[in-house]
Amino acid sequence: MGILFGTDGIRGVANTDLTCQLAYNVGRAGAYVLTKEMNHAPRILVAKDTRISGDMLGMSIASGICSVGAHAIFAGVIPTPAVAHLVREYKLDAGIMISASHNPVEYNGIKFFNSEGYKLRDSLEAEIEELLVNSLFNNITEIPLPTGEEIGKASYRKSALTDYENYLKSAVMDDLTGIKIALDCANGASYKAAPNVFRDLGAEVFVTANEPDGTNINKNCGSTCIDNLKRFVEETGADVGFAFDGDADRCLCVDEEGNEIDGDKILAICGLNMKIKGTLKKDTVVGTVMSNLGLDIMTREHDMLLVKTAVGDRYVLEEMLKNGYNLGGEQSGHIIFLDKNSTGDGILTALNILQVMKDTGKKMSQLGGLMKVLPQVLVNATVSNIKKNTFMEYKEIRRAIRNLEAKYEDTGRVLIRTSGTEPLVRVMIEGENIAEIEKDARDLAQIIETFLS
């Protein structure tokens, strides 16, 4: 990753790391790089989640877009996967989502999509970043500044949310009558779309965390706080519950008994159903190195193949495109159904899970039992953002990691990785004894913090 772009676009504290000036220059550089070969005035969709800083940054990005002669089309508050879909449906040249996904309200971010609805490849992000870094974020002389009639304009696409909802309703099924669904919308981008889609399909819908005020996104709710949905499922007596993150590209599930169904289990449930129906390409599911060993076991038992990538939906997608797979995702609930959309889509994921319930006639708790989860602990070491990628340079850290790898060689595994979006080093251990792996993970995280804080 570069200085600005992490594993999921540009992200930082709004008005501190991610300023209006930076957003303006990112809009300029991004519009220029993505559209410089075109012989027409480019059109770029600009959307946001519910964060209070979204207006400020959206206007700044749009100003940058217009300054190079491109046109900004505002879509308002819609999920990230809506941008990926609508860029294709509207035949636009690019899309930009302003969101920090699951992060707290003080953060925001900028994600780019190309004309095919895919997140940008590394080389394009590097080209955008090079323009910005070389100019110290100011006076980008390489980018032309048109005048007069050549300056771009901004417009509004008021039908964007409805168009996306209509697409979702046609993508998987047309009847959810008789199913009681609980939704946690994280006070984020799904707060309108999710309830609308499930109700229109006939489900009885109960909704929480769907009253965004600009400051409460992801606050004690959503996919990063699954206990909120567990309580809500119990209160409403729902058959199943779904929790989305702030920009609704992720979905986690809770069964009727209050048990969590994470992304690995979702891959198991949907993957097996697709294999039975003959729609799982090459009988293969794409996961990441963070995928639980239980998913390895489940796929082998059902004559399926599990391919693992580095952590990050971009790497999952790259593997899917490279080898012709159509189902992949992460433990966090970022699931890609490539036949339906070009990025993770929380609402689409929920619809696919409901399709399995309808196809099999099974309760969610029965489906969740398809995969046995091995105990897994994840502990975050809070470190200096500058130092986070240097942990293997310290002999004390290397020694501690090697000792744990030897300890769990036959009964589990140890995985250490840096966060692409936060100043964290993540320590993950799988093993048979939950108390033991918790202690070992905490001890290693403490050692890492000692040297990298």
**Spatial separation of the C-alpha atoms in residues 340 and 88, rounded to whole Å:** 12
**Closest-CA residue to 332 (of 247, 212, 389, 208):** 247
Q: In which element (H, E) is residue 77 found?
A: strand 71-77
Cα of first residue to Cα of last residue in the chain, in angstroms, is: 21
HEC secondary structure over 315-345: HHHHHHHHHCCCEEECCCCCEEECCCCCCCC
**Spatial separation of the C-alpha atoms in residues 283 and 268, rounded to whole Å:** 12
DSSP, collapsed to helix, strand or coil, labels residue 196 as: helix
135 classed as catalytic? no
Looking from the CA of 198 toward its CB, the CA atoms found within 13 Å total: 31
Q: Which of 60, 101, 190, 342 is catalytic?
A: 101
Looking from the CA of 107 toward its CB, the CA atoms found within 13 Å total: 19
**Spatial separation of the C-alpha atoms in residues 296 and 307, rounded to whole Å:** 9
Which whole-number Å values give the CA distances from 161 to 19, 30, 99, 190, 418, in the listed order?
A: 27, 24, 16, 10, 35
Q: DSSP state, 18?
A: B
What positions carry a catalytic annotation?
A: 101
